[in-house]
Amino acid sequence: MATGYNVNANGIRQHLIHHRGPHGAPQLLLVPGITSPAITWGFVGVELAKRFDVHILDVRGRGLSQAGDLDYTLDAMADDVIALARRMNRPVVLGHSMGARIAVRAAGKSSEPIAGVILVDPPVSGPNRRPYPAQWAWYGDSIRMAEQGCTADDMARFCPSWTEEQRALRAEWLHTCQWGAIRQAFDGFSTDDIHADMARLTLPARLVIAGGATVILPEDADEISRLMPQIEIRRVEGAGHMIPWDDLQGLLDAVLDFSA
């Protein structure tokens, strides 16, 4: 059974959802992407809890974590993860998309409380690099629609391949993604240099690539391997950027055997 809880970490209220794993299982702190409240990853958390003790974070400005007039930079979000990891038992940090960038920055800043990182299709954009392939309108327009109230059918034009249940959950929770927080995080995709963080990261690591997307190209994977020689690389062939929504078993096969 999943249970939600709140803690004060890095000076703000952080909300997480706990999917209890087997006795003595390694802890896993799951950091979702830019507009994915923790509850929308519940179907993944249930499966990951067969191997890990799973805690899914509502990133600040999203879901039930503190929002409002806060710092939404990558550094602030990374400091949240560091503070939470220090309260836990050296978790593996699994981040998807923006969450993977957060994991990289957190582990690069303070690796001691983190056992290892699993980076699921992180945007590799940054200063003087090719832009992140997604457009702002996809995020901004859907959030504005959700703020007014919307249905699963309304969400279909943004997520046409998702099931009705998945679209309904997104329609229910997307309004909790504070517009300004999302805008600042999206802009950070072009200004934050996560490759410099990668060069400092010596923890056990795995990169999971969405084989049906263009977020990470072969040359990007090669560069990451040069920066992080210890990294393992797995591909989920045919899956788009939102990997578990396209191929849940593919994601599980790519991450469940990770050990740190």
Q: Where are the domains of the chain?
A: 2-133+192-255
Reported as a single tens digit per residue, the pLDDT across 11-22 is 999 999 999 999
C-alpha pair distances (Å), 166 with each of 42, 55, 147, 208, 245: 11, 20, 18, 22, 8
Quote helix, strand, coil % in the chain, to nearest 5: 40, 20, 40
The first and second tokens of residue 77, run together, are 């979000």
As beta bridge partners, residue 28 has: 54, 92
Q: CB of 194 within 8 A of CB of 101? A: yes
Residue 74 φ then ψ, to 5°: -60, -40
CA within 13 Å, CB half, 215:
28
Q: pLDDT truncated to tens, each residue of the chain (260 aa)?
A: 899 999 999 999 999 999 999 999 999 999 999 999 999 999 999 999 999 999 999 999 999 999 999 999 999 999 999 999 999 999 999 999 999 999 999 999 999 999 999 999 999 999 999 999 999 999 999 999 999 999 999 999 999 999 999 999 999 999 999 999 999 999 999 999 999 999 999 999 999 999 999 999 999 999 999 999 999 999 999 999 999 999 999 999 999 999 98
pLDDT at 215: 97
Among 256, 112, 101, residue whose Cα is nearest residue 187: 101
The rounded distance, in Å, linking the Cα atoms of 157 and 52 is 35
Reported as a single tens digit per residue, the pLDDT across 99-149 is 999 999 999 999 999 999 999 999 999 999 999 999 999 999 999 999 999
How many other β-carbons are positioned within 10 Å of the β-carbon of residue 141?
Answer: 13
The first and second tokens of residue 168, run together, are 């309904």
DSSP letter (8 states) at residue 135: -
pLDDT at 1: 82
**Backbone dihedral region for residue 126 (phi beyond 0: left; psi -120 to 50: alpha; all else: beta):** left
pLDDT at 114: 98
CATH number of 2-133+192-255: 3.40.50.1820
Tell me the three state secondary structure of residue 131: coil
Among 139, 106, 101, 134, residue whose Cα is nearest residue 120: 101
As beta bridge partners, residue 2 has: 19
pTM for the model stands at 0.98
Q: CB of 142 within 8 A of CB of 158? A: yes
Among 29, 60, 59, 26, residue whose Cα is nearest residue 45: 29
